[in-house]
A and B are shown apart, each in its own frame.
Chain A
Amino acid sequence: MKSALHNMNPAAKFIVVTICMLTMAFFFNPWTPLLMWIGVLLIQLLFSRIDWKLWILFMIPFLIMAFGYFWTTLVFAEDKSGPVVLSIWSINITEVQLNHALSLSFRVLAFSGLSLLFALTTNPVSFILSLMQQMKLSPKIAYSILVGYQFLPVLKDEFVQIQQAHRLRGAMQDKNAIRRLLHMRKILLPMLAGAVRKAERAAFAMEARGFTGEQRTSFYKVIRVGRLDGYLVSLFMLLLIISCTSVLYIN
Chain B
Amino acid sequence: MLKSWKLKEVVLMSLFSVVFGIVYLLFLHVGNIWAGFIGPIAYEWIFGIWFIVSIICMYIIRKPGAAVISETIAAAIEVLLGNAVGPRLILAGIIQGLGAEAAFAATRYRRFDIWVLMLAGVGASVFSFIYGYFLGGFTVFSTGYVLLMFGIRIASGAVIAGIGGKAVVDGLLATGSLRGYPITRAKKGEARA
B-binding residues in A (CB < 8 A): 14, 17-18, 21-22, 25, 28, 58-59, 61-62, 64-65, 67-69, 71-73, 76-79, 100, 103-104, 107, 111-112, 114-116, 118-120, 124, 127-128, 138, 140-141, 144-145, 147-149, 151-152, 155, 185, 188-189, 191-193, 195-200, 202-204, 206-207, 211, 213
**A28/B137 contact (C-beta < 8 A), A192-B172, A203-B8 known:** yes
Nearest first, the 8 closest Cβ-Cβ pairs linking A and B are A115-B86, A72-B39, A64-B36, A203-B8, A148-B14, A144-B14, A199-B12, A124-B80
A110 CB → nearest B CB, Å = 11
Contacts of B80 in A (CB 8 A): 124, 127-128, 145, 149
CB distance from A159 to the nearest CB of B (A): 9
Inter-subunit contact A111/B86 (CB<8 Å): yes
* Bound CA span A152–B21, Å: 10
CA distance A126 to B135 in the complex (A): 28
Question: A185–B171 contact, CB under 8 A?
Answer: yes
Residues of B within 8 A of A58 (CB): 83-84
Stretch at the interface among B27-35, B101-109, B115-123: B27-35
Chain A residues whose C-beta falls within 8 Å of the C-beta of B145 in the assembled complex: 76
Chain B residues closer than 8 Å to A73, beta-carbon distance: 140-141
Inter-chain contact A65/B35, CB cutoff 8 Å? yes
Report B's interface with A, CB cutoff 8 A: 2, 5-8, 10-19, 22-23, 29, 32-33, 35-42, 69, 73, 76-77, 79-88, 90-91, 134-137, 139-143, 145, 167-168, 171-172, 175, 177-178, 180
Shortest CB-to-CB span from A124 to chain B, Å, is 4
Q: Which of B6, B35, B135, B142 has the most CB of A within 10 A?
A: B35
Q: How far is the CA of A119 from the CA of B46 in the complex (A)?
A: 25
For A196, give its contact among B6, B88, B178 (CB under 8 Å).
B178
If A68-B39, A68-B42, A76-B142 touch, whether A148 touches B84 (CB-CB below 8 Å) is no
Residues in chain B near residue A107, CB distance under 8 A: 137
Known contacts A118-B86, A148-B77, A200-B11; 6 further A-B pairs (Cβ under 8 A):
A21-B135, A64-B35, A65-B35, A73-B141, A141-B69, A185-B171
Chain A residues in 8 Å Cβ range of B134: 25
Contact A21 B88 (CB under 8 A): yes
What residue in chain B is nearest A58 (Cβ atoms)?
B84
Selected contact of A77 from candidates B5, B81, B141, B168, CB within 8 Å: B141
**Closest Cβ of chain B: how far from A67's Cβ, in Å?**
6
B162 CB to closest chain A CB (Å) equals 16
